[in-house]
């Protein structure tokens, strides 16, 4: 086993990642050392690099939280995992397991949680550490490159859709058809929902249509609120993955009376605040719910959809050395589907 590994490291906010050799970490009690095969590039990684959120990430940082790989070594006290097992690492690196939220099966809102590739080193590296209790099990033989985006984009949109309470046959507006949104369209279809897709890019809307969206609206040259109200009488549910304040404001107004919107996107910084109509929310009994990644149960369910072929990320693989150009493409909104880094 080598002593060092290749990793992409952020040394200061808003600077390019450096490709470096760093020591391979040693798994502690209850931890796994994972040989990373694939790591998706999520817009949250770009928010981390750009310092969009408070608090900022722990620096120096190895980003990356859409990891598919294999167990290289189990630390002391680990049971149920062996070297070579297929595993995935999500954003939720850990939660405390002892607070009221963890007890209630709401570990996604544990105040003592750690985040992969934000407060802990992530998967833009050949190896990484993760607590065995929070690692996702992937069925043997799954395509690690197609599976990697399920570890964040998949589980997050799956939970977001569940949190709208939408039932089969109802309409859901997916607002933002990026890495998360194009997967959200597929979960929605697999859950029996009808999809209206909204983005500001014709190419992304083409992808949404090919994945089963019945209605597509380009917010760059049409008013998505008017179109969804006029054609559907409003959507029963909406899920917002766009990185633009306006989309969050519009999504409330896309709902039909009694509808629920799940907020997923996190524009951060100056874009973190919305204006909304109190009377619309009150009179039409609308619900606005936040949705933060997913629990371990959500992850198992989200992986099962993908393993059964119901959901498949549209990906382009790239070497780690290309990461700064990929992040710039994401900043400019040029990525269709998801870019997955090929580590092995």
Residues near ligand NAD (CB under 6 A): 42-44, 47, 152, 156, 175-181, 198-201, 204, 219, 241-244, 246-247, 264-267, 291-293, 330, 333, 335
Closer residue to ligand NAD, CB minimum distance, 7 or 197 = 197
**19, 99, 109, 266: which one contacts Zn ion (CB under 5 A)?**
99
What's the token pair of residue 295? 């629990």
What's the token pair of residue 153? 């984009």
Q: What minimum distance in Å lies between the beta carbon of 156 and Zn ion?
A: 7
Closer residue to ligand NAD, CB minimum distance, 248 or 305 = 248
Partner touching 102 among Zn ion, ligand NAD, none, CB below 5 to 8 Å by kind: Zn ion
SS3 of residue 195 by DSSP: strand
DSSP state of 4: E
Partner touching 117 among Zn ion, ligand NAD, none, CB below 5 to 8 Å by kind: none
Contacts of 163 (CB under 8 A, 6+ apart): 260, 262, 289, 291
Number of CB atoms found within 10 A of residue 24's CB: 20
Kind and range of the H or E element at 245? helix 245-254
Q: Which ranges of 100-201 would DSSP assign to H, the alpha helix?
A: 100-103, 144-147, 153-164, 179-190
**CA pair distance 67, 28, nearest whole angstrom:** 20
Partner touching 186 among Zn ion, ligand NAD, none, CB below 5 to 8 Å by kind: none
42 is an interface residue for Zn ion by CB under 5 A? yes
Q: What minimum distance in Å lies between the beta carbon of 196 and ligand NAD?
A: 12
Closer residue to ligand NAD, CB minimum distance, 244 or 281 = 244
Closer residue to ligand NAD, CB minimum distance, 86 or 298 = 298
Piece of the chain touching Zn ion by CB under 5 A; list 5-13, 54-62, 144-152, 260-268:
144-152
**39, 87, 110, 330: which one contacts Zn ion (CB under 5 A)?**
110
The DSSP bridge partners found for residue 195 are: 172
Instruction: Report yes or no: 90 and 136 within 8 Å, Cβ to Cβ.
Output: yes
Q: What minimum distance in Å lies between the beta carbon of 237 and ligand NAD?
A: 16
Q: Let me know how long the chain is.
A: 344
264 is an interface residue for Zn ion by CB under 5 A? no
Number of CB atoms found within 10 A of residue 169's CB: 9
Closer residue to ligand NAD, CB minimum distance, 5 or 151 = 151
């Amino acid at each position: 086993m080598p002593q060092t590994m290749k990793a992409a490291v952020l040394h200061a906010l808003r600077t390019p990642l450096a490709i470096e050799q760093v020591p391979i970490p040693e798994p502690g009690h209850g931890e796994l050392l994972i040989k990373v095969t694939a790591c998706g590039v999520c817009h949250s990684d770009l928010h981390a690099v750009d310092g969009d959120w408070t608090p900022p990430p722990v620096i120096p940082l190895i980003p990356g939280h859409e990891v598919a790989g294999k167990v290289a070594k189990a630390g002391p006290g680990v049971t149920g995992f062996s070297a070579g097992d297929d595993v995935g690492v999500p954003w939720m690196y850990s939660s405390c397991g002892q607070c009221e939220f963890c007890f209630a099966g709401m570990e996604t809102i544990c105040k003592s949680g750690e985040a992969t590739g934000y407060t802990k080193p992530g998967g833009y590296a050949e190896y990484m550490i993760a607590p065995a209790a929070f690692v996702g099990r992937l069925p043997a033989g799954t395509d690690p490159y197609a599976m990697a985006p399920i570890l964040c984009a998949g589980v997050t949109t799956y939970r977001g859709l569940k949190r709208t309470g939408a039932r089969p046959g109802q309409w859901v507006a997916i607002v933002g058809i990026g890495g998360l949104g194009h997967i959200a369209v597929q979960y929605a279809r697999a859950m029996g929902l009808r999809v209206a897709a909204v983005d500001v890019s014709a190419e992304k809307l083409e992808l949404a249509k090919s994945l089963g969206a019945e209605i597509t609206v380009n917010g760059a040259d049409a008013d998505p609120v008017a179109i969804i109200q006029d054609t559907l009488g409003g959507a029963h549910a909406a899920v917002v993955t766009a990185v633009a304040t306006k989309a969050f404001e519009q999504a409330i107004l896309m709902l039909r009376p009694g509808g629920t919107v799940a907020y997923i996107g996190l524009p951060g910084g100056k874009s973190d605040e919305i204006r909304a109509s109190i009377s619309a929310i009150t009179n039409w009994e609308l619900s606005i719910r936040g949705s933060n990644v997913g629990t371990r149960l959500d992850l198992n369910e989200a992986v099962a959809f993908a393993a059964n072929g119901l959901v498949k990320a549209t990906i382009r693989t790239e070497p780690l050395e290309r990461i700064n150009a990929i992040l710039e493409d994401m900043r400019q909104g040029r990525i269709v589907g998801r870019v997955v880094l090929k580590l092995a």
